């Protein structure tokens, strides 16, 4: 592609003190962790057909869903080839692979993820990991780590402990830390008479999981994810935002904020500067709620831009991990990955092109019309020229040129799946 427009764009940004070359370099280096669960509509491959639960659901029946873990990896590799910058892959425990039959979650070991590790190494990417507390018969009545039955709680505690060992093994294999995200679906559909005891039990179960001091916490980076509600847990969620804010802060764990886990019109960007006053690290689950936690494919919208602008304006890139969490079964799933991840990378680039220091200087000087004017002006700067240069630098298709590759992959590979 002819990118004559880049030098002009570069000049325009430079006039405001923004170095586009530096922004491109930096934007390419920030890892984005692709969730493995978009490829198969969040079903997993434990061979326990029809087990759902957990209050999350992909809707749609577009052909081409990955039918095996190999197909998940194939789709991820294809997607990654069309996405600029450093990608990682975020694996859930229910994407384990067994040589001699089903192994339940309280017995999982690093060897059940060996193929993922080998594959990641071949691709030159890092892996992140998640214990899976949903889509399992022992999660069917809506409680796991906060369950009233100690036997069920202990089963899940053991799963959590094993997940940390697996994350540590991944870190060893890849030479970079593995981000480990804990999310439990625990909650109730309707009014509960006791909101206290399940929270007490949830905290105790986590404490039991994290009490394993053999885990090297420079390799396994623990995060805990909050939620407002789920399908079937509309009234009460044990692990609410407040629960985890306090838990993460008092236990020195990272806090995961999913963009879809708040009230319908509540956005997360304004929370970042507050949480990072105390939290060690934030893990973002970049997602797009529509009316509820619908996990739509991420697009380059204001919510996304505002999140990254906040990080940029607070110079907090080192305290934030970027991971994706969406699942749409109604469109080509490789397309979903590429749209959502490219949008996220665009959000990062957009923020890195922000004239933050000028805006902040205006603010200090009380020149607030200038501040607002510049914020407005930057919305119509020649961003696409810089984005296309970033794609060209990363040797991936610019603009919408990746669509031809998606279509070829659909015709050659996805269409052969039923
Ligand atoms: C659910 C959480 C959680 C899951 C994944 C599959 O509401 O967002 O992150 O989407 O762990
Ligand atoms: Zn999430």
In the predicted structure, residue 1 carries a pLDDT above the cut 70: no
Q: Which long-range contacts (CB under 8 A, 24 or more apart) does 265-274 make?
A: 267/303, 267/306, 267/307, 268/303, 268/307, 269/303, 269/306, 269/307, 269/309, 269/310, 270/310, 272/307, 272/310, 272/311, 272/314, 272/316, 272/320, 273/310, 273/314
What confidence score (pLDDT) does residue 2 get? 56
Nearest residue to 261 via CA among 345, 159, 185: 185
Q: Which tokens is 125 given?
A: 């990417």
Q: Is residue 255 part of a domain?
A: yes
What confidence score (pLDDT) does residue 52 get? 63
CB 174 within 8 A of CB 117: yes
Based on the residue annotation, tell me whether 212 is a catalytic residue of this protein.
no
Nearest CA residue ID for atom 11, ligand 1: 183
Domain holding 209, by residue range, is 19-352+382-416
Between 21 and 1, residue with greater pLDDT = 21
Mean pLDDT, range 264-277, rounded to an integer: 97
Q: Does residue 130's CB lie within 6 angstroms of at least one atom of ligand 1?
A: yes
H or E, element range at 151: helix 150-174
**Exposure b/e, 200-212, CB count within 10 A at least 16 = b:** ebbbebbebbbee
* pLDDT tens-digit map of 352-376: 999 999 999 999 999 999 999 999 9
Q: Does residue 183's CB lie within 6 angstroms of at least one atom of ligand 1?
A: yes
Q: What angle do CA 105, 135, 203 make, to 5 degrees?
A: 70
- Cα–Cα distance for residue pair 56/374, rounded to 1 Å: 41
Q: Is residue 297 part of a domain?
A: yes
| Residue whose token pair is 């002819």 | 2
Q: Is residue 376 part of a domain?
A: no
Mutate to test the pocket of ligand 1, among 325, 326, 329 (most ligand atoms within 8 A of CB): 325
| Residue whose token pair is 């969620």 | 237
Based on the residue annotation, tell me whether 46 is a catalytic residue of this protein.
no
Query: How far, in whole angstroms, is CA 255 from its chain's centroid?
Result: 12
CATH code (residue 184): 3.20.20.150
**Exposure b/e, 48-77, CB count within 10 A at least 16 = b:** eeebbbbbbebeeebebbbeebebbbbbbb
3-class SS string, 184-215 = CCCEECCCCCCCCHHHHHHHHHHHHHHCCCCC
What confidence score (pLDDT) does residue 51 get? 56
* pLDDT tens-digit map of 106-129: 999 999 999 999 999 999 999 999
Q: Which tokens is 51 given?
A: 């087990």
Q: Report which bound ligand comes closest to the CA of 56.
A: 1
Percent of the chain's residues with pLDDT above 70: 98
Q: Which tokens is 398 given?
A: 């610019």
* pLDDT tens-digit map of 62-96: 999 999 999 999 999 999 999 999 999 999 999 99
Q: Is residue 9 part of a domain?
A: no
Measured in degrees and rounded to the nearest 5, phi and psi for residue 84 equal -75, 150
Q: Is residue 326 part of a domain?
A: yes
What confidence score (pLDDT) does residue 56 get? 86
Q: Is residue 1 part of a domain?
A: no
DSSP structural state of residue 397: -
Spatial neighbors of 211 by CB under 8 A, at least 6 apart, are none
Q: Which tokens is 115 given?
A: 């193929």
Spatial neighbors of 113 by CB under 8 A, at least 6 apart, are 91, 96, 97, 127, 129, 166, 169, 170
Q: Report which bound ligand comes closest to the CA of 181.
A: 1
Q: Which tokens is 342 given?
A: 């490219």
Query: How far, in whole angstroms, is CA 138 from its chain's centroid?
Result: 25
What confidence score (pLDDT) does residue 418 get? 77
Q: Does residue 182's CB lie within 6 angstroms of at least one atom of ligand 1?
A: no
DSSP track, 214-268:
TS-TTTEEEEEE--S-BTTBSSEESS-HHHHHHHHHHHT-EEEEETTSS-TT--S
What confidence score (pLDDT) does residue 81 get? 98
Based on the residue annotation, tell me whether 258 is a catalytic residue of this protein.
yes
Domains identified in the chain, total number:
1
Q: Does residue 311's CB lie within 6 angstroms of at least one atom of ligand 1?
A: no
Q: Is residue 27 part of a domain?
A: yes
Based on the residue annotation, tell me whether 318 is a catalytic residue of this protein.
no
DSSP track, 304-358:
HHHHHHHHHHTT-GGGEEEEE----SSS-HHHHHHHHHHHHHHHHHHHHTS-HHH
From 37, 119, 156, 183, active-site residue: 183
pTM attached to this predicted model: 0.97
Confidence of residue 54 (pLDDT cuts 50, 70, 90): confident
Q: Does residue 325's CB lie within 6 angstroms of at least one atom of ligand 1?
A: yes
From 285, 328, 346, 387, active-site residue: 285
In terms of DSSP bridges, do strands 32-35 and 320-324 run parallel, antiparallel, or are they unpaired?
parallel
What confidence score (pLDDT) does residue 33 get? 98
Q: Is residue 53 part of a domain?
A: yes
In the predicted structure, residue 333 carries a pLDDT above the cut 70: yes
H or E, element range at 33: strand 32-35
- Cα–Cα distance for residue pair 364/271, rounded to 1 Å: 22
Nearest CA residue ID for atom 10, ligand 1: 325
Q: Which tokens is 198 given?
A: 């399940």
Give the chain's mean pLDDT.
96
Q: Does residue 37's CB lie within 6 angstroms of at least one atom of ligand 1?
A: yes
Confidence of residue 346 (pLDDT cuts 50, 70, 90): very high
CB 327 within 8 A of CB 288: no
Based on the residue annotation, tell me whether 41 is a catalytic residue of this protein.
no
């Amino acid at each position: 592609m002819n990118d004559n427009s880049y030098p002009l764009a570069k000049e325009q940004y430079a006039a405001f003190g923004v170095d586009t070359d530096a922004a491109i370099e930096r934007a390419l280096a920030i890892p984005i962790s692709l969730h493995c669960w978009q490829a198969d509509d969040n079903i997993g491959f434990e061979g326990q057909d029809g087990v759902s639960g957990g209050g999350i659901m992909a809707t749609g029946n577009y052909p081409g869903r990955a039918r095996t873990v190999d197909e998940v990896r194939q789709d991820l590799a294809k997607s990654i080839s069309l996405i600029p910058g450093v990608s990682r892959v975020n694996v859930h425990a229910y994407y384990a692979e067994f040589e001699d039959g089903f192994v339940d979650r309280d017995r999982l070991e690093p060897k059940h993820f060996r193929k993922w590790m080998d594959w990641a190494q071949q691709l030159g990417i890092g892996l992140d990991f998640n214990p899976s507390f949903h889509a399992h018969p022992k999660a069917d009545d809506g409680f796991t780590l906060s369950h009233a039955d100690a036997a069920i709680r202990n089963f899940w505690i053991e799963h959590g402990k094993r997940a940390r060992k697996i994350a540590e093994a991944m870190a060893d294999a890849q030479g970079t830390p593995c981000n480990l995200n804990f999310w439990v679906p625990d909650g109730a559909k309707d009014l509960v008479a006791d909101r206290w005891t399940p929270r007490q039990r949830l905290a105790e179960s986590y404490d039991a999981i994290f009490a394993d001091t053999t885990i090297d916490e420079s390799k396994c980076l623990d995060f805990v994810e909050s939620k407002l509600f789920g399908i079937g847990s509309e009234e009460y969620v044990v692990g609410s935002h407040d629960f985890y804010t306090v838990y993460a802060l008092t236990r020195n764990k990272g806090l995961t904020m999913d963009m879809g886990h708040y009230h319908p019109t509540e956005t997360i960007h304004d929370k970042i500067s507050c949480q990072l006053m105390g939290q060690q690290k934030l893990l973002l689950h970049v997602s797009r709620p529509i009316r509820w936690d619908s996990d739509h494919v991420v697009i380059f919208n204001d919510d996304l831009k505002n999140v990254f602008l906040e990080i940029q304006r607070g110079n907090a890139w080192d305290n934030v991990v970027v991971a994706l969490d969406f699942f749409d079964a109604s469109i080509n799933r490789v397309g979903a990955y590429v749209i959502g991840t490219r949008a996220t990378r665009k959000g990062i680039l957009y923020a890195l092109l922000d004239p933050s220091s000028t805006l902040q200087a205006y603010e200090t000087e009380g020149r607030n019309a200038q501040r607002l004017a510049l914020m407005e002006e930057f919305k119509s700067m020649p961003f696409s020229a810089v984005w296309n240069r970033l794609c060209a630098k990363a040797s991936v298709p610019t603009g919408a040129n990746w669509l031809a590759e998606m279509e070829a992959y659909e015709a050659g590979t996805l269409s052969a799946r039923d």
